Amino acid sequence: MSTALPPRPRHVSQSQSEICIVASNYNQEFTDALVENACNELKEINPNANITIARVPGAFEIPVASAALLAQDNKPSVLITLGLIIRGKTQHGDLVAESVTNSLQKLACETKIPVIHEVLLVDDEKQAYARCIGSQLNRGREAARSAHTMLELFSDLGLHQGNKKKSTRSYPSNA
Ligand SMILES: Nc1c(NC[C@H](O)[C@H](O)[C@H](O)CO)[nH]c(=O)[nH]c1=O
Ligand SMILES: CC(=O)[C@@H](O)COP(=O)(O)O
């Protein structure tokens, strides 16, 4: 088990990066907490970032929504995916998790836009609590820090930075 998150960047960024979060609603107590932690961390790292949030029913729907968002003209500079699969009695959870993982990596490599993968597969609610709600292993905060690191890296290397349009959107609008 990893015991520490990557450190928070030492300086606050001022860039108007477009960041998109695609998060599933399934196991909502936990996925809402992932979204909240990711957003809070993103705002602490970069108060000027424009964050768009899209909520989908379950983890399995995350790749298609992500692919559709990255196919738009207004592409984000980085996309964060958040979800929680809790293993049941069958292999369904593992199959969904593996398919999501493979799809997201393929999407990132094909579009050359960083996709941060925090679609978690856990055994039980105790593991879920530690990763979604607790502070020490929080994967929402980890996602934000990884997104920031990739943005900085792509910027330093002069790679594509998506759009820098000023807006805050949420889909569905009451999410
Ligand atoms: N059991 C979990 C699911 N299952 C739902 C699927 O992700 C999908 O929405 C459904 O099969 C329709 O295509 N989703 C989670 O995110 N977490 C679970 O634990
Ligand atoms: C991960 C799932 O979709 C899960 O809820 C399915 O449970 P089960 O494997 O017991 O059918």
- Mutate-to-test residue for ligand 1 from 25, 26, 64, 101, highest number of ligand atoms within 8 A of CB: 26
Q: Which residue would you say has higher pLDDT here, 58 or 3? A: 58
| Domain interval for residue 156 | 18-171
- The C-alpha atoms of residue 88 and residue 64 are separated, in whole angstroms, by 24
Q: Is 61 annotated as a binding residue?
A: yes
Protein residue whose Cα sits closest to atom 5 of ligand 2: 88
Report if residue 77 sits inside a domain: yes
DSSP state, residue 137: T
Q: Are strands 50-56 and 170-171 parallel, antiparallel or unpaired?
A: parallel
pLDDT, tens only, 98-146: 999 999 999 999 999 999 999 999 999 999 999 999 999 999 999 999 9
Residue 2 has pLDDT above 90, yes or no: no
Residue 115: what residue type? V
Q: Is 8 annotated as a binding residue?
A: no
Q: Is 148 annotated as a binding residue?
A: no
pLDDT, tens only, 36-63: 999 999 999 999 999 999 999 999 999 9
Whichever domain contains 91, its CATH number is 3.40.50.960
Question: What percent of the chain is modeled with pLDDT above 70?
Answer: 87
Report if residue 28 sits inside a domain: yes
Q: Please report the pLDDT score of residue 168 as a whole number.
A: 46
Q: How many domains does the chain contain in total? A: 1
- What is the pTM assigned to this prediction? 0.90
Report if residue 32 sits inside a domain: yes
The answer to whether the CB of 50 falls within 8 A of the CB of 165 is yes
Whole-number Cα distances in Å, 83 to 137, 153, 166: 15, 25, 26
Separation of CA 101 and ligand 1 centre (Å): 14
160 is catalytic: no
Helix or strand run (H / E) with residue 94: helix 92-111
Q: What is the ipTM of this complex?
A: 0.94
> Dihedrals φ, ψ of 122, to 5°?
-125, 165
